[in-house]
A and B are shown apart, each in its own frame.
Chain A
């Protein structure tokens, strides 16, 4: 049932994201920066809010007057800040909603990722509480409407003895202290929101909390442009003798308010409760079938820490050595955080298919898809290749390449394949060329698989792809499941290129690239001997 909703939604996202990726490039694609943009808009709201507070007066009559002065008399600084404050708040809602839908569509909410999903729920509640208390402070007709409907909703709950909404239907019932209270709430709630945003990313390695500078600058410039084009204004002073029956609603923060008239307050609460319960239960509806967590083999672990460095889920940490080997630390896997992506295996210096040892064992490996099994599959798949341009594909199971029928070695993430494997395939002439087929560049299922692979190829990250490996025989194709046709086209073109190349010259062993730090002393890669 949930899968039936997720699939078309994912299709929809893919459909939008690929053109965005073409225009913006993978690094600046806003759809791959939703969380970071959410943080960015929060900071804009915070800074503009602090600036506005300098000019805001909390008196019952003065509140509206001070906001009018901000908007009209000081439009060129405080007025622009008001618009920035408001539109950045709206954009934060848009970012949060799109982020939630996208994580759902890409199945990024089950298994080890449940924590970020669950902590996102109170963020939504607090985000709305922050926005609604802000609208209250302006004390215009919209504020009156928000005050009455919010109080009516709260009054529906059997908590308060006297209806709060009675405070907003006649003059003389409100005092200036009420605005002091609202200002306090409008500051305290966002502070708590920020705290929860921090909790939200606690279990994520290298969370993106800042968008790329270019994207941030363009967003800020666009926000200022929109603020000048359509400045945020008040909707007339509160008149408690008149019902606020016609208001320009902020449809991002207040879409449920009209529903209190249509559905009734009980139904709106029921909707909110059902939404919260559903979001809370979703990681287990149904639970993700989790492969066994990565396991460390201490005899092959020299405590180099690359696996802990590369794990996108903070599932590995380096702890004091527990065996007799002369290394200070060893890797330790937290099974509850591990998603079995295999990136740790790809980063381990012991993960080399050249090794002579009979049992191919590495420092950290997936019990259900070991390095040994990967080498066997590589050999078997390569053996079936024919023709002049034999291309072997290492394909991420979440990308376009996974569906290929021939010559494909599927992996949970392309970063699971250590660079030495490509060397192995080409130097042993198992194939004439290698395609590394990952997810779409800006939508890596395992967050950092694409980045790590690229950095390993360019020599920016351990373990490097050795300099001796002919680069013209390796191609990366980053393509989503929607782009199978492009993937096949590029693979065929690459195969034709490979076929036209002269046969590789048999080479002598060369010194290794600066990549490898000292591997475990008792294991010597065959290729370097």
Chain B
């Protein structure tokens, strides 16, 4: 009888311990952002225009090159950084200089940023320079979006069409 009671006590202890483990297997719930908010994510991969940094070779420089390797301009391997701006409701949310990736700096620049905003209507403006110019922008888009709670809105960029996408 004592052996049975002892075995029952042992089983109940194991059961309680395992029950505790099972409870913490999906509780308490974790909330990443406050209630009633949405997420705007700016993310894309784009290589800055390397051609813009090309330099025309002088006739003397061209003449120095072997005949079979003569070219009219020299383009550096590395890419210039991108410059990106994001405004949400007229307020600057992001001002970033995005360096190229890769050890030689010849890979595309990339961005992956998240902004938590209250759900509702928002004015979004995004601008980017991918050439070495210091004034103005090569691409820009503004738009009004209405976000529901927990919605994820992505600001993407398509280099093929040269436009920002709001989706």
Contact = CB atoms under 8 A, between A and B. Distances in A.
Nearest to B24: A251
A529 interface: no
Secondary structure call for the B interface? mixed
A38 B151 CA distance: 41
B154 A90 contact: no
A152 B32 contact: no
A87 B150 CA distance: 30
Interface string B13-30: 111011101111111111
Interface stretch (A161-169, A179-187, A276-284): A161-169
Contact of B27 (A152, A243, A248): A248
Contacts of A219: 14, 18
Contact of A243 (B30, B107, B151): B151
A319 interface: no
Contacts of A247: 29-30, 32
B6 interface: yes
Contacts of A257: 30
Contacts of B17: 222
Given A243-B33, A252-B25, A218 B110 contact: no
A170 B41 CA distance: 11
A240 interface: yes
A211 B94 CA distance: 57
Nearest to A241: B152
Interface in A212-270: 214, 218-219, 221-223, 225-227, 229-230, 232, 235, 240-252, 257-258, 261
Contacts of A163: 43, 45, 110, 112
B19 A166 contact: no
A49 to B, nearest CB: 16
B108 interface: yes
B47 to A, nearest CB: 10
Given A91-B21, A223-B18, A28 B10 contact: yes
Interface residues of B, number: 42
B11 A221 contact: yes
Contact of A169 (B31, B32, B154): B154
B26 A250 contact: yes
B110 to A, nearest CB: 6
Secondary structure call for the A interface? helix
A494 to B, nearest CB: 26
B39 A243 contact: yes
Interface of B: 6-7, 9-11, 13-15, 17-19, 21-33, 37-39, 41, 43, 45, 101-102, 107-108, 110, 112, 150-152, 154, 156, 167
Given A170-B154, A248-B26, 17 more contacts: A86-B25, A87-B18, A91-B18, A152-B112, A161-B107, A170-B156, A218-B7, A225-B15, A226-B18, A227-B22, A241-B152, A243-B33, A243-B38, A247-B32, A249-B30, A250-B24, A252-B24
Interface of A: 23-24, 28, 30, 83, 86-87, 90-91, 94, 142, 145, 152, 155, 158, 161-163, 165-166, 169-170, 214, 218-219, 221-223, 225-227, 229-230, 232, 235, 240-252, 257-258, 261
